[in-house]
Amino acid sequence: MRLLDRYEEVVGHQEVERLRRLAERLAGKRIVHVNSTRTGGGVAEILGWMVPLMTELGIDARWEVINGPPEFYRVTKAFHNALQGLPVSLRKSDFDLHYEVNRENASRLNLEADIVFVHDPQPIYLPEFTPPDQVGRWIWRCHIDASRPDRGVWKYLETAMSRYRAAIFSLAAFARPMGVPMFLIMPAIDPLSEKNCAMPEAERLETLARFGIDPDRPLLLQVSRFDRFKDPLGVIEAYHLLKPYYPTMQLALVGGPADDDPEGAEVLREVQDRAGGDADLRVLLLPPDSHRAINALQRSATIVLQKSLKEGFGLTVTEALWKGKPVVGGACGGITQQVHDYHTGFLVHSPAGAAYRVHYLLRYADKRQRMGQLGHDFVLQHFLLTRNLRDYLAMLLCLDHPEAGTLVV
């Protein structure tokens, strides 16, 4: 069975038919996505399904990954932090390194295409090293909140934008004026991926046993890279506030290494220190291909937390809602688009706030169940990959036919 036929069973015939109709007008278009890692984090997760689906729709889609020395990832991580408003100290040599790595990658990668989607700041300078007549093919896809960046870093990144034709942000609140047309496209999940598909009960229980988690006791779960913006220490604090009242409660903090995130090891150490020797608090470092294990853990959670202080879209929230779990999430970024108080979970601003809302949800099983169902339906309507792909296709058609104005599909 072809990929899209399988999705039809989840999202309905009409939605898939719309995609086919849109893609007819883009048949044969050569599209390249460029990012900085093939595994780990939300961008890799999205490109993993988007490229094969575009291909099936008749588009000539590919995925290229830039690489550089470890020092490059330290600099790009600082860019990431700076875009999200953290003060960073970078030297001129750091900017030069970023520029040079982009130059090397521009000559190494196959960027021959009609449209190149450049994801996030790591490869942003690639267009600089191609002939100026090819400017029309570059689109910057920013997955992070760039609304209040560090000025120095933004100035450097903004200079690269003169070569771009358009920019895409996940939310209006993340965007900055940039002198090119801007599009808003919210990310989405793949309901049939290993991460999100239905799972036999025996496999779920076997996964819990492997990690020493008791299936009969309440489980709080946060899945995310070990990154300060994800606030794993805040989650532990909330757990410590609750534990005296719920002695059987368990917490699992699940993360993995992302190739492009050098700070992860340090944050992981802090988390392990804070976790101490508590047998009910599991800190699990999983290999990047642990999709089924994460699926099983999300399905086993009583409540999922995503207590971020800054967040892009927050795909882990989408994944949890899809599995019918209420989410207690930090009131930031895309979490605010997905978590609605008393409907799909609760937005919180502090560890105490998180503990308070978890306490409520632990007490009322019926509310958990109702919110979980609403969350699942909400994702079905708004945050599955077919909607995301439709937005991309519609955007490409808009760029090809600016005279058409608003495109009705």
Chain residues that interact with ligand UDP, rule: CB under 6 A: 41-42, 45, 195, 223-225, 254-256, 286, 294, 312-316, 319
Please report how close the Cβ of residue 340 comes to ligand UDP at its closest, in angstroms.
Answer: 18
- Hey, what's the torsion of the CAs at 353, 358, 364, 365, to 10 degrees? 150
Q: Which is nearer to ligand UDP, 152 or 288 (CB)?
A: 288
Please report how close the Cβ of residue 244 comes to ligand UDP at its closest, in angstroms.
Answer: 29
Please report how close the Cβ of residue 79 comes to ligand UDP at its closest, in angstroms.
Answer: 14
Q: Which is nearer to ligand UDP, 127 or 264 (CB)?
A: 264
Q: Which is nearer to ligand UDP, 102 or 298 (CB)?
A: 298
Please report how close the Cβ of residue 312 comes to ligand UDP at its closest, in angstroms.
Answer: 5
Q: Which is nearer to ligand UDP, 66 or 315 (CB)?
A: 315
Q: Which is nearer to ligand UDP, 4 or 294 (CB)?
A: 294
Burial class (CB in 10 A: 0-12, 13-18, 19+), 172: exposed
Q: How far apart are CA 120 and CA 189, in angstroms?
A: 19
Sheet harboring 250-255: ordered strands across? Answer: 281-285, 250-255, 219-223, 303-306, 327-330, 345-348
Q: What are the backbone dihedrals phi and psi of residue 254, each rounded to the nearest 5 degrees, phi first?
A: -115, 125
Please report how close the Cβ of residue 325 comes to ligand UDP at its closest, in angstroms.
Answer: 13
Residues 6 or more apart in contact with residue 402 via CB below 8 angstroms: none
Measuring CA to CA, which residue among 153, 140, 144 is closest to residue 171? Answer: 144
Q: Which is nearer to ligand UDP, 127 or 314 (CB)?
A: 314
Three-class secondary structure assignment of 60-81: EEEEEECCCCHHHHHHHHHHHH
Please report how close the Cβ of residue 285 comes to ligand UDP at its closest, in angstroms.
Answer: 8
Q: What are the backbone dihedrals phi and psi of residue 251, each rounded to the nearest 5 degrees, phi first?
A: -130, 135
Q: Which is nearer to ligand UDP, 59 or 224 (CB)?
A: 224
Q: How far apart are CA 204 and CA 295, in angstroms?
A: 8
CB 35, CB 1: distance < 8 Å: no
Please report how close the Cβ of residue 61 comes to ligand UDP at its closest, in angstroms.
Answer: 20
Beta strands in 149-230 (DSSP E): 166-169, 182-184, 219-223
